[in-house]
Amino acid sequence: MEPNVLLESLIDEAGVSRAGLAGHVNHAGRARGLRLRYEHTAVARWLKGQRPRGQVPDLICEVLGSRLHRSVTLDDIGMGTSGAHTTSHGTGLSGFVEHATALWRSDEQQRAHLATIPAVTGTTAVMPVWEWENPPEDTDVSRPGPSRVGPADIAMLREARAHYELMYRKTGGIATRARVVGFLNAETAPLLRAGYSDATGRRLHRATGGLVAVAGICAYDSDAHGLAQRYFHQALRLAKASGDRGLGGYVIALLVNQSLHLADYRRSVAFAEAALRAAGPHISPALAADLYAMQAKAYARLGDPRSALERIRRAEAEAGRIHPGREPDETGYVQPGLVNVQVAEALLSLGDLTGAREHAAAAVRSPAHDRGRVHRLAMLTHLELLQGEADKAAGTASEMAERARGMESRRLRDRLRSVREHLAASGSADAEAAAGRIDGALRVPL
């Protein structure tokens, strides 16, 4: 079942407890001749995603609407046809905003169930990408309202995205997530509900989409994959509203990366193809290079060397066309050496250790932010161990451990643990010392 963050948000807004809501629903039911005996445990089940039978959803709307002094619909409480998790056009853009901000609010309140909700699969996972790629488009995203969104507001959102992305790279997603989600609630949500013209609204949705994508990256880095996926789907819907195909392609690249991590390689290939196809001339060389490189990794894991090598060639060709000053803000992560490390992973899966080692070494020689450098050093360490160079691997791993110290990231911790296991198995004294340095980096509490 999908946690009902919409109902949870409205209960909080109405200032009623779970037991209180159950009592009010029982009372409202008696006015309709119903004998209901709900308690707080029933409300807990509704919040977990269970839909009560009969007239009860209507009674919930009636009770909450009375307390909030406005009309509350089944869609508002996550019990309509669209459910509690949706980015569909069926709810309309204003409905989407309410769905999205309800999730932000629940995440800021650190609702325990959000960290453990599973990533959706099948049609539910594919539909947001299909809806982004296909009509209908948003012909008018303007919104009436007493306050007006201006250029300074949008500039603030763009600056915040850059700030939180830099924080993520330096400290990891666990520490950054709470801050970016707090900003979404305090600063971004009121702007989405304010008044703006169509042109301003498109810039607003684009800036918000970039911020929401960072929230998704931080959730992914925290190992909260279901939550990360929901943020990515939100960012994709915002990209649709903005009319910026390049932003949508970037968000899909994040979904491709997550699919690779979850070992859904066919979905990785299909999503990357959708981004390349739909973004077309709007896609930047950096983003195209990353998408092709991730496709190469997926094809390699699927045992298709011909397709993998062909995608590697495309990735390298696009990487040669990158001009940093002409790239959008979001593709700054495609730094020199990123394609090399992606290609190294693909070649490793294909069994080409020599080629993989050459690309991994080239990636380490290229400049990178600390987080990216840790991943590159981990890859090179693994390949040096596979080629029997334990002492050299120990030196590489020691630098990796030092770079990773202080970062709060479950993805990096998993990578460090994997490297440590391989070092320990090598039997080298230097490797054992490097494993000890990794242990020191891992002692930082999350």
Residue-by-residue DSSP string for 45-61: HHHTTPPPPTTHHHHHH
In a domain, 26, yes or no: yes
d(CA 411, CA 91): 35
Q: Do 145 and 229 fall into the same domain? A: yes
- Same domain flag for 164 and 28: no
Is 259 contained in some domain? no
Comparing 177 with 72, the larger pLDDT belongs to: 177
Instruction: Pick the last residue of a domain from 66, 84, 102.
Output: 84
What is the tens place of the pLDDT at every residue in 313-371?
999 999 999 998 889 989 988 988 999 999 999 999 999 999 999 999 999 999 988 89
Highest mean pLDDT among 29-33, 65-69, 339-343: 339-343
Determine the Cα–Cα distance for residues 420 and 64; give it in Å rounded to an integer: 54
The verdict on 346 and 288 lying in the same domain is yes
Look-up: residue for tokens 């509900």?
Answer: 193
Q: Are residues 33 and 91 in the same domain?
A: no
Q: Looking at the 3D structure of the chain, how many domains does it have?
A: 4
- In this prediction, residue 98 carries a pLDDT of 87
Whether 265 is covered by a domain: the verdict is no
Which of the listed residues 18, 50, 84 is the one where a domain comes to its end? 84
- CA 410 to the chain's CA centroid: 14
**Cβ neighbours, 10 Å, residue 425:** 12
The domain containing residue 25 runs over which residues? Answer: 5-84
- Give the whole-angstrom CA distance, residue 275 versus residue 134: 12
Examine the domain organization and report whether 312 and 396 are in the same domain.
Answer: no
Do 374 and 361 belong together in one domain? no
Tokens 């009636």, residue located: 62
pLDDT at 91 over 70: no
Average pLDDT, the chain: 92
For residue 347, what is the enclosing H or E element?
helix 338-349
Same domain? 61 vs 90: no
CA atoms lying within 13 Å on the CB side of residue 79: 24
- Three-state SS for 268? helix
* 108 shares its domain with 204: yes
Residue 103 covered by a domain? yes
The domain boundary residue, chosen from 298, 331, 365: 365
Query: Over pLDDT 90: what percentage of the chain?
Result: 75
- Residue 88 pLDDT greater than 50, yes or no: no
Residue 100 and residue 202 in one domain: yes
Establish if 429 belongs to a structural domain: yes
44 and 193 part of one domain? no
CA torsion, points 214, 95, 3, 45, in degrees to nearest 10?
160
Decide if 377 is inside a domain.
yes
Instruction: Look at residue 21 in the predicted model and tell me its pLDDT.
Output: 94
Query: Residue type at 262?
Result: L
Find out whether 216 and 164 touch, Cβ atoms under 8 Å: no
pLDDT band at 90 (very low <50, low <70, confident <90, very high): very low
Residues in Cβ contact with 437 at an 8 Å cutoff, skipping those fewer than 6 apart: 397, 398, 401, 402
* Residue 263 falls inside a structural domain: no
Q: Do the domain assignments include residue 71?
A: yes
Whether 237 and 117 map to the same domain: the answer is: yes
Shared domain for 417 and 298, answered yes or no, is no
Look up tokens 């029933």; give the residue: 42
pTM attached to this predicted model = 0.88
Say if CB 300 and CB 350 are below 8 A apart: yes
pLDDT tens, position by position, 376-432? 999 999 999 999 999 999 999 999 999 998 899 999 999 999 999 999 888 889 999
